[in-house]
Amino acid sequence: MKYYGFNFQWMYNSHSQKAAECDERALDFMCAMGCNFVRLPLNYWFWIRNFNYDEADESVLQKIDGFLHAVISRNLHCSLNLHRAPGYCINGAELEKHNLWTDEAAQTAFINQWKAFSKRYNHYTEDQLSFDLLNEPPNIDQYGCTREIHEKLVRKTVSAIRSVSPHRPITIDGLGGGNLAMPELSDLGLTMSTRGYQPMAVTHYKASWCAETKGIAEPVYPKTVYAGKTWDIDAIRAHYEPWAALAKKGVPVHVGEFGCYDSVDNEIALRWFKDLFKVFNELGWGYALWEFKGSFGIIDHKRPNTRHEKIGSYTVDRDLYELFKDGMQI
């Protein structure tokens, strides 16, 4: 089955904050849209304090239990994702005590966390729940990560999960922040998750956390020049060729995140979105927008020249909403 839906940051943003409440109204809206998928990014700092990896706060884990129940009880598939994991996060890896790619303590904690989730949620079927091991691993040779180290860690983690839950669907994000395909792991029966953010000059224009786009000129689309390429629909197709090659070999591919920050004009964003959805449909891939509500969402973004309309209980970007819905091939 192809999965279409959204990312929800109910337990990701900060270890100093309490987890958000489950937005059941948003889940109902998704169901009315015809979506069938929720990706749930988690920050382990919410239930682990001071890097004491073996001392989980049960009250926080019960909060995750409630999230899963709310999602799955609506016949939505839930993808549980470690967005910040012991020893690594794509944003703020330096805040970790250990390094996931070089330190045994972090690797052991990472594997044990997924084994613990496997035991805790073993009652859910493979149609209801999947595990997305790690959000956006780094570039090769960044933080000491190599293809070989990454492959070894993934194989150990998959083995630990399957020792408890042999049929649990498992997803792995591409290296290089989700952009680099991983044919070396194609034998494991995993879903490979890519990203829909290229060109970053469009999707992350004026994003304060993104060093790659600092100081760039206001983008256009098509024909934005970024990373040595002139971007249009053909450049997007070319970007996904390594992933399409995996799919042709029978490896399932999903777009775990895509979206556009709200500093760019919405007319530019919509031209890009239209091409992106067309390519995803050509390739037969499902997708999950980052995010439902916020600066990348269909609700509450502030891109200039957006056509806002009331749908159900939300005021939404009507054009993005329609493109999203029209792209679903359920």
Indicate the pLDDT class of residue 97, thresholds 50, 70 and 90. very high
Is 133 a residue whose pLDDT tops 90? yes
Helix axes 104-120, 147-164, angle to 10 degrees: 30
Is 118's pLDDT higher than 70? Answer: yes
pLDDT at 16 over 90: no
The answer to whether residues 288 and 5 touch, using CB atoms and an 8 Å cutoff, is yes
More confident residue, 171 or 11: 171
How many CB atoms lie under 10 A from the CB of residue 91? 11
Q: What are the tens digits of pLDDT across the range 141-171?
A: 999 999 999 999 999 999 999 999 999 999 9
- CATH number of the structural domain spanning residue 181: 3.20.20.80
Distance of CA 234 to the CA centre of its chain: 24
- What beta strand segments (E) does 188-291 contain? 191-196, 224-226, 229-231, 253-258, 286-289
Report in angstroms the alpha-carbon separations of 10 from 67, 170, 193.
Answer: 9, 21, 21
Q: What is the Cα–Cα distance from 197 to 260, expressed in whole angstroms?
A: 7
Report the number of distinct structural domains present in the chain: 1
DSSP states of 149-213:
HHHHHHHHHHHHHHHH-TT--EEEEPHHHHTB--GGGGGG-PEEEEEE--SHHHHTTT-TT-GGG
Average pLDDT, the chain: 95
Q: Which domain, by its residues, includes 275?
A: 4-327
Compute the half-sphere exposure of residue 169: CA atoms within 13 Å on the CB side of its CA. 22
Whole-number pLDDT of residue 14: 58
* The pLDDT of residue 269: 96
The percent of residues above 90 in pLDDT, for the chain, comes to 89
What pLDDT shows up at residue 1?
Answer: 78
pLDDT tens for 27-55 read: 999 999 999 999 999 999 999 999 999 99
Q: Is the pLDDT of residue 119 over 60?
A: yes
pLDDT confidence of residue 278: 97
pTM, two decimal places: 0.95
Rounded to a whole number of angstroms, the distance between the first and last alpha carbons of the chain is 7
Q: Provide the angle, in degrees to the nearest 10, between the axes of the packed helices 24-33 and 318-327.
A: 60
For residue 209, pLDDT beyond 90: no
pLDDT (0 to 100) of residue 30: 96
Tell me how far apart the alpha carbons of residues 328 and 325 are, in angstroms, rounded to a whole number. 6
When pLDDT is averaged across residues 67-87 and rounded to a whole number, the result is 98
pLDDT band at 132 (very low <50, low <70, confident <90, very high): very high
Q: How many CB atoms lie within 10 A of CB 222?
A: 17
pLDDT, tens digit, 9 for 90 and up, residues 234-243: 999 999 999 9
The whole-number average pLDDT for the span 60-87 is 97
Mean pLDDT across the stretch 224-235? 94
Predicted pLDDT of residue 17: 64
Specify burial of residue 295 (Cβ count, 10 A radius: 0-12, 13-18, 19+): middle
Q: Is residue 87 a contact partner of residue 44, using CB atoms and an 8 Å limit?
A: no
- In whole angstroms, give the CA distance from residue 320 to residue 232: 19
- CB half-sphere exposure, 7, CA atoms < 13 A: 26
CA dist., res. 124 & res. 165, Å (int): 10
Helix (H, G, I), strand (E, B), or coil: what is residue 80? strand
Dmax of the chain from CA atoms?
Answer: 52
Position 220 confidence tier, pLDDT thresholds 50, 70, 90: very high
pLDDT band for 12, please (50, 70, 90 cuts).
Answer: confident
Q: Facing residues of 39 across strands?
A: 7, 79
What is the C-alpha separation between 138 and 93, in angstroms, rounded? 10
pLDDT digits (tens, 9 = 90+) for 277-308: 999 999 999 999 999 999 999 999 999 999 99
